[in-house]
Amino acid sequence: MQRRNLGKAMRYLVVVGTLVSAFALVACGGDDSDSQDVDVTVPLNTVTVAAVQGVGINIQGGQIFTGVSTGTAVTLIFRIANANAFTLTGPGGLSSDGTVAYNSDGACTFTATGPVGGLLPVASVTTFSACNLAIQANDVPEDGSLVLGNLNVKFTTTGGATVNSNPLAENVSIGNNGQLFVVNPVTGGVAATGVEP
């Protein structure tokens, strides 16, 4: 009779042990990496501009650039070969080229040099008190995996008005060092932002 109860007790122990093990696997299993939502603003400079070099950045309020008519939409392209060069294109394909200087305080200055009769009738200089990249993405793993996010280029005029570009879809990741990276959709290059989200 005791042998019969011993067998029954052993079966109960096996069932309980199996349930406890299954619970432990579920509780401790799965992906060990954390993820987080990203909503950061980073100053535009010769390093961070790599996120948008060669990308057509549509700006509906193109009049923020000196010499562009009110209500004119423009496309700004930072050149791939030179982080300090740009092309500004408007209606009818008219364009102007120039250089951009990035200041350590987050300001930037665009100097359009020509061609004469292009989008801008004459050479012009436009200074912004802030030039930034605004980056947003949801559930970005902290293991370097890529997640599609949105990036806007934001310009703040010296008068305090802020104009955003249309959003750009770009992959972002958080590296093992905790820093945010953006993948340029044109060049495929990875741009370091220098921030931890």
Q: Tens of pLDDT along 145-187? A: 999 999 999 999 999 999 999 999 999 999 988 999 999 999 9
Segments making up each domain of the chain, as ranges = 1-30, 35-192
Q: Which residues pair with 191 in a beta bridge?
A: 182
Amino acid, single-letter form, for residue 82? N
Could you tell me the CA-to-CA distances from 80 to 85, 140, 179 in Å, in that order?
Answer: 9, 27, 23
Q: Examine the pLDDT at 25 and tell me if it is beyond 50.
A: no
**Range of lowest pLDDT (13-22, 33-42, 112-121, 155-164):** 13-22
Structure tokens at 24: 């432990």
Structure tokens at 103: 């200041």
